[in-house]
Amino acid sequence: MTETQKRIRNHRLKSDVKSVIKYTVIILAAIIMLYPLIWIIGASFDRSAIPSFSFIPQDFSLIGWQAAFSAPGWGSAQGYSLLRALSNTLQYTIPYVLFGTFSCLITAYVITRMHFKGKKIVFALIIGTLLMPATIFRIPLYAFWTSPGIVNLWDGSRLAFTAYLPLWAGSLFAVNSFSIFMFIQFFRTIPRDLDEAAYMDGANKFQVLFYVLMPILKPIVITVGLLMFISQFNDFQGPLIYRGHVSTYPLPIVLQLLGLDSTNTYAHVFARSIVSVSVLILIFFGAQKYFVGNDADSAIKG
């Protein structure tokens, strides 16, 4: 074997060792991160509480999953369906995500791509609002939504989306400062040459946004929408404040109330938790392919 072949062999050996170490670390990290979910899945098939670190059921039973979607005495003779609670949750989560993403996108586009007096003040206010905790807005918003004339719009209503008006109406006015800031930072990475080329072809500002910039903005739009969905889907305080009839209870409240049922076992609690978490997992993996880098520079030649 020549010296050159030895070097090539040693280089390949070192590369293989590095690959093995790298993927071993990745697999171990993935197992550590996923183990709580794996443990809950195993516990959902165990009639009794699992006292050990192992996720293997000791008293295997399907009782948790057989009653995972209903609970006797909740709302009807058939029981309170967990799917109905999920439907109630989506009735304020989906409008919040759609309107919030669009309004924050428009706000960020105006701040980064247009010139007007007081733009720096507006940006400073956005950053200032970003630094404030969301809980300080609870009392003013509650006073507004329960004021005479406003409370009749949503309180006691059983119509789709209307009963949850206080939970999603604010998204029409770009109230999510963090999302606006994310859009602004992404807009700043896109060269203005694309805008100027579109203007020379006769496009207006909104045509530039929707036809030129939107294909580039797809990753950040999906990311912002996903973050909004997760935060709103998991929100417990908001629905707790503005909850109405029992038939309109969303998933966070229903899971908490079902946990108080004396007929529950640990299998019931874990099975229902998996049902609620699976929605977020499916949405995350469905949107994962859009989490890519910014390809704005690839649109410019020369």
Residues 6+ away with beta carbon under 8 Å from 290: 218, 219, 222, 223
pTM of the model: 0.82
Write down the pLDDT at residue 1.
61
Domain co-membership, 111 together with 258 = yes
Residues 141 and 61 in one domain: no
How far from the centroid of its chain's Cα atoms is residue 49's Cα?
30
Question: What pLDDT does residue 301 have?
Answer: 45
Structural domain that includes position 119? 82-299
- So what's the pLDDT on residue 40? 87
Mean pLDDT of each 10-residue bin along the chain, 302 residues long: 75 85 92 88 80 78 77 48 84 94 94 89 89 86 90 82 90 92 92 89 89 90 92 90 80 77 73 86 82 49 43
Which of 287, 275, 270, 284 lies closest to 89, judged by CA? Answer: 275
Same domain, 29 and 95: no
Per the listing, tokens 């299998």 go with: 267
Residue 134 sits in a domain whose CATH number is: 1.10.3720.10
Are 57 and 119 members of one domain? no
Residue pair 111/119 in contact (Cβ under 8 Å)? The answer is yes
Backbone angles phi and psi of 252, in degrees to 5: -60, -40
**Residue-wise over 194-205: b if at least 16 C-beta within 10 A, else e?**
bbeebeeeebee
Report residue 276 as tokens: 């609620």
- In the block, residue with structure tokens 């004339």: 149
Total domains, the chain: 2
Asked whether residue 93 falls in the same domain as residue 55, the answer is no
Tell me, yes or no, whether 146 and 285 share the same domain: yes
